[in-house]
Amino acid sequence: MHDPLISYINRHSAVPLTDGDIELIKNTFLPKRIRKKQYLLQAGEVCKYGAFIVKGAMRQYSVDDKGAEHIVRLSIENWWAVDRESFLMLTPSIYNIDAWEDTDALLITNADMNELANKIPALVEMLRKLDERHSIAVQKRVNASISLSAEKRYDDFAKQYPEFIRRFPQHIIASYLGITKETLSRIRHQAVKK
Amino acid sequence: MHDPLISYINRHSAVPLTDGDIELIKNTFLPKRIRKKQYLLQAGEVCKYGAFIVKGAMRQYSVDDKGAEHIVRLSIENWWAVDRESFLMLTPSIYNIDAWEDTDALLITNADMNELANKIPALVEMLRKLDERHSIAVQKRVNASISLSAEKRYDDFAKQYPEFIRRFPQHIIASYLGITKETLSRIRHQAVKK
DNA sequence: AAAAAACGTTGACAAATGTCAACGGAATTG
DNA sequence: CAATTCCGTTGACATTTGTCAACGTTTTTT
């Protein structure tokens, strides 16, 4: 159950994990099954857990005044499902996080993560790299949103994350890209014609 | 010249700087005057330096196929001007960073930053907090771009960063928000009528 | 002080995207 | 297997934003 997480850390760190590290990790991350549609986080709560996804898919979204959902993050295997701000600052979140499919995840609290980080250099390095890559990815997303058309953004997303296109329905992808499902449908049709 | 940086680090870290730390910082960060319109970074180069702004204003932008500039970041005093991805990964940047006004900055290389971080706990904590806040800010920006109208985005930006509104012309602000100067002009007029 | 450049606004029109309603097919549920 | 729900598409129309050109004012440069 924890093997995917161990592999993940080993892949993202030059520092190898010792047997003792692995033991600590297995004892600290809690396995959890989250059923389809079940919440990991509801708006107004503090995000107590970071969740590493072993199997399944999750989505993070906000709901606006008019009741419309805006997907801000999608996660599948080997991705994390967590509201970083709420998790780090321990402040109430404006987001919901729920399971799009039945999901097996490994959960950890902020305090436990800090404690593990004090003991496991490989974890520190993995987290640092995770932060860097997340930061870069989200900056690219901002860049795309202020300089590219909806069509171009979809094309780039489809090329870069084909697995997400396959795993999530188009109305979810559309919301994540900040457009409507009708517009996405039209964009995709236009692209096929070209 | 370095005092604003020292104050900044002290403000963003629970760990205080020692006299030795301050000496090290002063010896490592290089003062530089960047004239209005002068580049700190040009697209295609690796971003060798992070720049802490002591006085002045800078902008980071990309240029698209059609020659249009898209502002991705604005910086004034006590802000940093740096392409994080290029600076951390030492890869060529797609961005330009230039001075909007005559600017006094303190520059540091990636290698020197790492070396300082190994010696100064306060710097490590300040950098960690900087990363956190940057990450949160840019995530909020993504959220705004997929769920809010141009008008709302401007209103929120004006409330949160009045100093940026004062320091930069509207066509720069418009580009940063991903809209045209004409649209921004119309939005602002509409708001006044309400 | 004059000339030049930068800036913000406006009108008219175009393009991109959103909204609403409705439909047929696929997938899921009971 | 039937009923229900989910999904993607389409048409018609509305709204938001972009483009282009032009102008007057302000600021900067010479």
B:6-25 Cβ neighbours of strand D under 7 Å: none
Q: How far is CA A16 from the centre of its chain?
A: 25
From A192's Cα to the closest Cα of chain B, the distance in A is 23
Per cent of chain A over pLDDT 90 is 92
Mean pLDDT in residue range A163-178: 96
Residue B191: pLDDT band (50, 70, 90) is low
Which pTM does this prediction carry?
0.92
Residue A194: pLDDT band (50, 70, 90) is very low
Give the nucleotide at minimum CA-to-C1' distance from A182.
D9
- Closest-approach residue (CA) in chain B for A179: B146
Per cent of chain A over pLDDT 70 is 98
For residue A191, the model assigns a pLDDT of 66
Q: Which nucleotides of D are covered by protein (CB under 7 A)?
A: 6-12, 16-21, 29
pLDDT at B8 over 50: yes
Query: Is the distance from CB of A44 to CB of A145 less than 8 angstroms?
Result: no
B58 φ/ψ angles, rounded to the nearest 5 degrees: -135, 160
Cα–Cα distance for residue pair A13/B92, rounded to 1 Å? 23
Cβ contacts (< 8 Å) between B62 and chain A: which residues?
A: 143, 147
DSSP notation for A29-80: SEEEEE-TT-EEE-TTSB--EEEEEEES-EEEEEE-TTS-EEEEEEE-TT-E
A159 φ/ψ angles, rounded to the nearest 5 degrees: -70, -40
| B132–A contact, CB cutoff 8 A | yes
Residue B193: pLDDT band (50, 70, 90) is low
Residue B190: pLDDT band (50, 70, 90) is confident
* Start-end of H helices in chain A: 3-11, 19-28, 84-89, 110-119, 121-147, 150-160, 162-167, 170-177, 181-193
User: pLDDT, tens digit, for every residue of B83-118?
Assistant: 999 999 999 999 999 999 999 999 999 999 999 999
A167 CB inside 7 Å of strand D: no
CB contact under 8 A, A143 and B72: yes
pLDDT at B129 over 70: yes
Task: Give the distance, in angstroms, between residue B142 CA and nucleotide D23 C1'.
Answer: 37
Topology of domain B3-120 in CATH is Jelly Rolls (2.60.120)
For residue B40, the model assigns a pLDDT of 96
Q: Any residues with CB less than 8 A from the CB of B41 and at least 6 apart, and which? A: B47, B60, B83, B86, B93, B95, B96, B97
B102 CB inside 7 Å of strand D: no
Q: Any residues with CB less than 8 A from the CB of A53 and at least 6 apart, and which? A: A75, A76, A77, A78, A79, A80, A81, A103, A104, A105
CB contact under 8 A, B72 and A145: no
Poorest-pLDDT segment among A139-143, B44-48, B109-113, B187-191: B187-191
Query: Is the distance from CB of A151 to CB of A38 less than 8 angstroms?
Result: no
Name which of A89, A118, A138, A147 to mutate to probe chain B: the one with the most chain B Cβ atoms within 10 A of its Cβ.
Answer: A147
Q: What mean pLDDT is reported for chain B?
A: 94
CB contact under 8 A, B72 and A146: yes
Q: Where are the domains of chain B?
A: 3-120
For residue A193, the model assigns a pLDDT of 53
Task: Give the distance, in angstroms, between residue A182 CA and nucleotide D14 C1'.
Answer: 15
The strand order across the sheet containing A69-75 reads: A39-41, A96-99, A58-63, A69-75
User: pLDDT, tens digit, for every residue of A98-125?
Assistant: 999 999 999 999 999 999 999 999 999 9
User: pLDDT, tens digit, for every residue of B65-89?
Assistant: 888 899 999 999 999 999 999 999 9
User: pLDDT, tens digit, for every residue of B135-174?
Assistant: 999 999 999 999 999 999 999 999 999 999 999 999 999 9
Domain spanning A3-119: which superfamily?
A: Jelly Rolls (2.60.120.10)
Burial class of residue B114, CB neighbours in 10 A (0-12, 13-18, 19+):
exposed
Residue B50: pLDDT band (50, 70, 90) is very high
CB contact under 8 A, B85 and A143: no
Residues whose beta carbon sits under 7 Å from strand C: A 36, 149-151, 178-180, 182-183, 186-187; B 169-171, 181-182, 184-186, 188-189
Mean pLDDT in residue range A171-180: 96
Checking DSSP bridges between strand B49-55 and strand B103-109, what pairing results, if any?
A: antiparallel
Cα–Cα distance for residue pair B73/B60, rounded to 1 Å? 5
Q: Any residues with CB less than 8 A from the CB of A151 and at least 6 apart, and which? A: A187, A190, A191
- Closest-approach residue (CA) in chain B for A145: B145
| A147–B contact, CB cutoff 8 A | yes
| A111–B contact, CB cutoff 8 A | no
Give the nucleotide at minimum CA-to-C1' distance from A189.
D9
Lookup result for tokens 């604005």 = B74
Cα–Cα distance for residue pair B135/B140, rounded to 1 Å? 9
